[in-house]
Amino acid sequence: MLLEPELLENAHVRLEPLKESHREALRPLAQDEEIWALTTKRGDGVWFDPWFDMMLKGQESRTQISHAVWSRATGSYAGHTAFLQIDRDNQRVEIGWTWYGAAWRGGVTNPACKALLLDQAFSGGAERVELKTHHLNERSQAAMLKLGAIREGALRSHTRTWRGDRRDTVFFSILPEEWPGVQAGLDLRLAGA
């Protein structure tokens, strides 16, 4: 599986491989506490720099590829998304750490980003793309189902949140044979945007 940091773009968004120069552009967007309510790590306020450093470190170790999301509609940065847990030997990758400022939620930004990431993953030889979320994050689960991902189940008491409580992690996936249908659905949604 070949996944390398590269600029990805379509008519709606541009995904720029994360660099130090994105830090101050993303900082104000990350201050929305709602983004971090159900995450394992916090990234608002004083926690932004440690979170951002963690994203850069993952990129340096080649276990992750983070992206700053640029919205073409607004001409500004909209948030962050990443390839995580890149397992080249098993041709498996997770899409995660996806968050957007309030103005970009529920619209075209997320499907546009997912179309680019999924295309890069499957074009690069992925045999499995995973997505996962907190069992209480109903908005995220609904988005994954709307995307066309298959809900596989939940791992109970899987991980700890930044607050210290335990979360059940709900797993979704898309396989190569499912990608054409998912892609067609995304193309339809983006054409109507």
Q: Tell me the per-residue pLDDT of 15-72, one tens digit each, with 9 for 90 and over.
A: 999 999 999 999 999 999 999 999 999 999 999 999 999 999 998 988 999 999 999 9
DSSP letter (8 states) at residue 40 = S
CB atoms within 10 A of CB 2: 10
pLDDT given for residue 170 in this prediction = 98
The CATH homologous superfamily for domain 8-191 is: Gcn5-related N-acetyltransferase (GNAT) (3.40.630.30)
Banded model confidence at residue 192, pLDDT cuts 50, 70, 90: confident
Determine contact, residues 20/27, Cβ cutoff 8 Å: no
Q: Report how far residue 11's alpha carbon sits from residue 162's, in angstroms, rounded to the nearest whole number.
A: 36
C-alpha R_g of the chain: 16
CB atoms within 10 A of CB 9: 13
First CA to last CA distance, the chain? 32
Three-class DSSP category at 160: strand
Q: Report how far residue 17's alpha carbon sits from residue 88's, in angstroms, rounded to the nearest whole number.
A: 19
Q: Report how far residue 97's alpha carbon sits from residue 29's, in angstroms, rounded to the nearest whole number.
A: 14
Amino acid (1-letter code) at residue 140: S
Q: Report how far residue 132's alpha carbon sits from residue 150's, in angstroms, rounded to the nearest whole number.
A: 11
- Token readout for 115 is 């179309």
The C-alpha angle 30, 158, 90, rounded to 5 degrees, equals 90
CB atoms within 10 A of CB 57: 11
Lowest mean pLDDT among 8-12, 23-27, 116-120, 160-164: 160-164
Instruction: Note the pTM of the prediction, 2 decimals.
Output: 0.96
pLDDT digits over 143-191, tens only?
A: 999 999 999 999 999 999 999 999 999 999 999 999 999 999 999 999 9
Which residues are within 8 A (CB) of 75 and not within 5 positions of it... i.e. 6 or more apart? none
CA 109 from chain centre, in angstroms, equals: 11
pLDDT digits over 65-114, tens only?
A: 999 999 999 999 999 999 999 999 999 999 999 999 999 999 999 999 99
Percent with pLDDT over 90 in the chain: 97
Q: Report how far residue 192's alpha carbon sits from residue 187's, in angstroms, rounded to the nearest whole number.
A: 9
Q: How many contiguous H segments (helices) and E segments (strands) does the chain have?
A: 6, 8
pLDDT at 193 over 80: no
